[in-house]
Amino acid sequence: MEFHVVTLFPELFESPLSCGLLGRAIRAGLISVVLHPLRSYGLGRYRQVDDAPYGGGHGMVMRPEPIAAAFDAALAQRPGLWRVMLTPQGEVLDQLKVEQLARYRPGLLLLAGRYEGIDERVGTLVDQELSIGDYVLAGGELPALVVIEAVARLVPGVIGNPQSLREESLSGAMLEYPQYTRPREFRGQRVPEVLLSGDHEKVRAWRHDQALKRTRQRRPDLLGKIKP
Ligand code: ADE
């Protein structure tokens, strides 16, 4: 699966894409990430990408032409990419949306905005607008990385043990059950007996029960979203 990213700061992507799960997935050829530096498509001698807002006000607004030119170049290289703009004004990302994004082939074209805003007409260049949550960041670069990592985990082969993905999707929109490792006792807190019992059926039932309790307590809103 391919990810193309249009950004003013391609260097922001270097280390997140070089280590851990994403680094391994790229080196194994399971995913690829192509960065399209927006500055290369800027206008005039100064490669201008933004301008003052019509109607006045402070801050700068990203112009549509450099973004359109970067999109044209990315789509010429790889036709059929699903075009996504990262913006706090988009639909809020959740695991169901991640699963949908993971189905697009050949992949995704992500636009990371910067500055105070993006010209409204850029909306006509994209298929979907996505937010990673109800807070405001300085730009769409970190959100684009969030999308890449969440989607890449679902690409076959990226996660070593596909059983863990299956468990995630089986449990649907529930929080994870509590996990324990050694030591058996830590500062007076003992590992629950059932986990030491060796009875797999009991362990499974306990985990399910714990996940449900925890979700009820911390995120009751998720229970309404569980897939039938
Ligand atoms: N750009 C700035 N803040 C953002 C957010 N929360 N989600 C997506 N893009 C953003």
| pLDDT computed for residue 157 by the predictor | 97
Q: Is the pLDDT of residue 2 over 80?
A: yes
Same domain, residue pair 186 and 168: yes
Handedness of CA 87, 89, 95, 97 (dihedral sign): negative
Name the token pair of 98: 């991640």
pLDDT at 124: 98
Distances (CA, A) of 180 to 1, 20, 34, 189, 207: 35, 23, 39, 11, 12
- Boundary-marking domain end, from 127, 152, 177: 152
Q: Which residues line ligand 1 (CB under 6 A)?
A: 86-88, 131-133, 135-137, 139-140, 143
For residue 162, name the pLDDT band (cuts at 50, 70, 90): confident
For 83, the domain range is: 2-152
Residue with token string 């679902």 = 154
In a domain, 81, yes or no: yes
**Domain presence at residue 180:** yes
CATH for 211: 1.10.1270.20
Which residue's C-alpha comes closest to atom 7 of ligand 1?
Answer: 131
Residue 157, domain member (yes or no):
no
pLDDT given at position 190? 98
From CA 6, how far away is CA 15, in angstroms rounded?
A: 17
* Same domain flag for 21 and 125: yes
What total number of domains does the chain contain? 2
What's the pLDDT score for residue 228? 55
Instruction: Answer yes or no: do 143 and 188 share one domain.
Output: no
In a shared domain, residues 178 and 213? yes
The secondary structure of residue 11, as a DSSP letter, is G
Gap between the Cα atoms of 97 and 89, Å rounded? 16
The pLDDT of residue 30 is 98
Q: What is the mean pLDDT of the chain?
A: 95
Nearest-angstrom CA–CA distance, 73 and 42: 13
Q: Which atom of ligand 1 is nearest to the CA of 87?
A: 9
